[in-house]
Amino acid sequence: MDRESLNALEGTDITKIKPVLQNFNEKYARDFDLTQLQTSGQWPVIWKSVFNILKNEKNVEIYPECLSCVRILSRDKIQLESKIQPTDFDCLLKIADLCEHQKPNQPKTTISDNVLTEALKCLCNMVFQSAKCQEMCSKNYAIVGILNRVKCPKTYPYEIEYFDMKLLFLITALNVKTRKRIRDDLDGLTYLTEWLSQKNKKNDRSDQQIDLICEILKILFNITITPNEGDNSSENEIEFRRLTSIARTLLLDYSTMKTEKENELISNVVNLLTNVPTACISELLVSPATVQQQGEDVKLFEGKCVLAADVLLQFLKRKLGAPQDTPTKFEMLSPILTVLVKCVRSDVTLRHYIRSVILPPLRDVKKRPEEGNEFRNYLCRFLTSPYTQIRDLSAELLFVCCKENVLRMIKHTGYGNAAGLLANRGLMGGRNTKPTDYSSDSEDSDTEEYKEMQHGINPVIGCYEPPRPDPLAGMSDEQKEYEAVQLANLMDKLHRQGIIQPCRIGPDGKPEAVEHIQQLQEEIPQQQMDLKRKT
C-alpha cells in the first residue's frame, strides 16, 4: 500500500477510504502470506486505522470493507497476537450484536445481517489464530451474548446461527476454562441441548442444516468433557438422558448415511456419546410404539427397538472397511468402540443385540478368528494391534459380550489373541469375574457345525486343526530326552541373550518372570492337577 493510500486510510473522508480498502481486499483476498505487510511495517498502521473507522458508528457505510480487511489481516498470527487489544475485540462484539448493553430482542440498529455475519467471521478467525483472543473470551461478553441468542425465541438468519456456533465451538475447543462456566454457571448444556432438538425438528435435511447441527454437537462434546465419567453421572443425569434421547433421534433420522455430510453428523453424534455416562446410554433404546408414532422403521429385539444400536454398528462397519490400517483410521475407530463398550455395559438388551451381531454362534471354525471381514474377525485382529487404545477397547468389547467369561472369550478369539487381555486382568489361570455381574441366561448355545469340529479345535489359535503325525513317534526314550535337553538349552540361550523372557502364572493370575528355565518344571505337577480337575 503506497503512502497516499495510507494517508487516506488514516483520514476521515469515507469517499477516499472506501476505494483504498476495496483495492486492498481485492489484492490480498487469496493471499495468506502477509510477510510484505509485516516487514514494511504497514500491518499495525492498517490495523489501527481500520479499527478507528469501525469504532465510529457514523462510518457504518464502509463497515463491510473494513471487516473484510480485518479478516485478511487476522491471517498474520504473530502480528495479531502482539497488536490485538481488548477494545478491538469488543468493537467486533458490538458490531456482531454480542455487546453487553445490547439485548438480542431489541430492534435492529443500522447494522445489517450481512455486516453482523462478517463481524462473526472476523471473531472466528481471531479466536482461532490468537491465544490472547481466546483468553479474552473468558472475560468478555462473547459467550453470554451467543447463549442469549440461543435462548431468544427470535429466528436469526442461518449464517448468523452458524457462525455463532462456530465461534462458540472455537472458544470451547481452545480455551478449556470456558467449558465448565458454560455448562454449570450459564446452563449452556440445557440450552444447547434444547436448541439442538429444535433444529432437528425442522425436518430440514439440507447440507446447511447438517453443518449447523454438527457445530452444536461439537460444542456439546467440548462442554461435556470431564476428567472422569463420575463428574458427569449424577448432578446432570437428567440433562444427559435428554441429550442421549436427542442423539438417538439423530441416529434414526440420518441412519442411511447417504452423503458425506450425513456421515459426518453421525460421527459427531458418536463423539458426543463418548462423554455420556454409561448409566444414561440405555436411552438409545425405545419402545416400538414410540418409534411408530414418529414414523420410523422398527427393528425389534427382545421387545425393544434397537435401531439406534444398529446404526452404531453400521457406522463401525464403514470405519472398519477403510482401505488401509493407518493411525488416522484407528483414531476414527476409537470413539465408536468406546460407545459400543458403554452400550454393552449399560443395558442387557443392548448387550444381547450387539453380541448377536459381532459374536454370532460359531459355524465356520476352520478359519482362524482373525481371518475374514466380519465384526469378530476385525476385532480379533485388533487384539494384537500395536495401537494400544484400539487393542484395549476391542478386548473390552469382546470380553463384556462374553460376559467376562474367560473360556467363552477363548472360544471366540483363541487363546493367542486373548492372552494380552487375560494377562493384564490377571486371568491367565482361567479365573472369571464375579458371576453376579451378568444374568444367568445362556446366550452361547453351540451350533451343530461347532459340535462336529469341537474335538479338533486348537484353543490357542481358535480354530479347527487337522490331525498331524506325532513328531515323537518312532523315537526311543533316549532320543526324546536328548531333544528335550536341546530344547531347554536353546530356550535358556535365548533367555540369557535377552531375546525372550520366560514366565509363569503368579498367584494374582498375571505373568511373572522366572530367573531360570528349570523353574518352569515346578509348575508341571500343579498344571497336571488343574487339568485333571477341569476334565
Domain boundaries, the chain: 359-464, 501-534
Among residues 109, 81, 78, 80, which one has the least CA distance to residue 96?
A: 109
Mean pLDDT of 299-326: 89
Mean pLDDT of 395-417: 93
Evaluate if residue 109 carries a pLDDT over 60: no
- Would you say the C-alpha torsion 28, 34, 40, 46 has a positive or negative sign? positive
Selected residue with higher pLDDT from 285 and 428: 285
CB 304 within 8 A of CB 287: yes
Evaluate if residue 316 carries a pLDDT over 70: yes
| pLDDT on residue 202 | 74
- The percentage of the chain sitting over the pLDDT mark of 90, rounded to a whole number, equals 61
Mean pLDDT of 21-38: 91
Q: Across the strands, what pairs with 359?
A: none
| pLDDT on residue 535 | 47
17 Cα distance to chain centroid: 48
| pLDDT on residue 319 | 92
The CA distance from 53 to 13, in Å, is 10
Q: Which residues of 286-303 are buried (b: 16+ CB within 10 A; e: fewer)?
A: beeeebeeeebeebebee
CB 515 within 8 A of CB 524: no
Q: Tell me which of 63-77, 283-297, 463-477, 493-507 is least confident.
A: 283-297
Per-residue pLDDT tens digits for 120-140: 999 999 999 999 999 999 999
Mean pLDDT of 156-161: 95
Evaluate if residue 298 carries a pLDDT over 90: no
Confidence band for 236, pLDDT divided at 50, 70 and 90: confident
Mean pLDDT of 502-523: 75
Confidence band for 266, pLDDT divided at 50, 70 and 90: very high
| pLDDT on residue 165 | 98
Task: Dump the DSSP string for 459-471.
Answer: TTTTEE------T
3-state secondary structure 39-92: HCCHHHHHHHHHHHHHCCHHHHHHHHHHHHHHHHHCCCHHHHHHHCCHHHHHHH
Evaluate if residue 328 carries a pLDDT over 60: yes
Selected residue with higher pLDDT from 107 and 11: 11
Q: Tell me which of 186-200, 216-230, 348-362, 435-449 is least confident.
A: 435-449
At 498, list the grid cell. Answer: 535377552
Q: Supply the pTM of this predicted model.
A: 0.88
| pLDDT on residue 508 | 79
Residue 457 φ/ψ, nearest 5 degrees: -80, 130
Evaluate if residue 313 carries a pLDDT over 90: yes
Per-residue pLDDT tens digits for 6-26: 889 888 889 999 999 999 999
* Torsion of Cα atoms, 294 then 295 then 296 then 301, to 10°: 80
The CA distance from 182 to 213, in Å, is 18
CB 282 within 8 A of CB 339: no
The CA distance from 3 to 1, in Å, is 7
SS3 508: coil
Selected residue with higher pLDDT from 441 and 183: 183
Selected residue with higher pLDDT from 428 and 499: 499
Planar angle of CA 214, 315, 239, nearest 5 degrees: 50
What count of Cα atoms within 13 Å lies in the side-chain half-sphere of residue 102? 19
| pLDDT on residue 183 | 94
The CA distance from 194 to 71, in Å, is 32
Confidence band for 526, pLDDT divided at 50, 70 and 90: low
Evaluate if residue 531 carries a pLDDT over 60: no
| pLDDT on residue 441 | 57
Mean pLDDT of 382-388: 92
Selected residue with higher pLDDT from 227 and 474: 474
Evaluate if residue 439 carries a pLDDT over 70: no
Evaluate if residue 232 carries a pLDDT over 60: no
Mean pLDDT of 39-62: 93
Evaluate if residue 521 carries a pLDDT over 90: no
| pLDDT on residue 121 | 97
- The percentage of the chain sitting over the pLDDT mark of 70, rounded to a whole number, equals 87
Mean pLDDT of 461-479: 88
Evaluate if residue 429 carries a pLDDT over 70: no
Confidence band for 436, pLDDT divided at 50, 70 and 90: very low
Mean pLDDT of 514-535: 62
| pLDDT on residue 39 | 87
Helix (H) or strand (E) holding 304: strand 304-305
Confidence band for 243, pLDDT divided at 50, 70 and 90: very high
Selected residue with higher pLDDT from 322 and 432: 322
Selected residue with higher pLDDT from 357 and 230: 357
Mean pLDDT of 40-64: 94
Evaluate if residue 151 carries a pLDDT over 80: yes
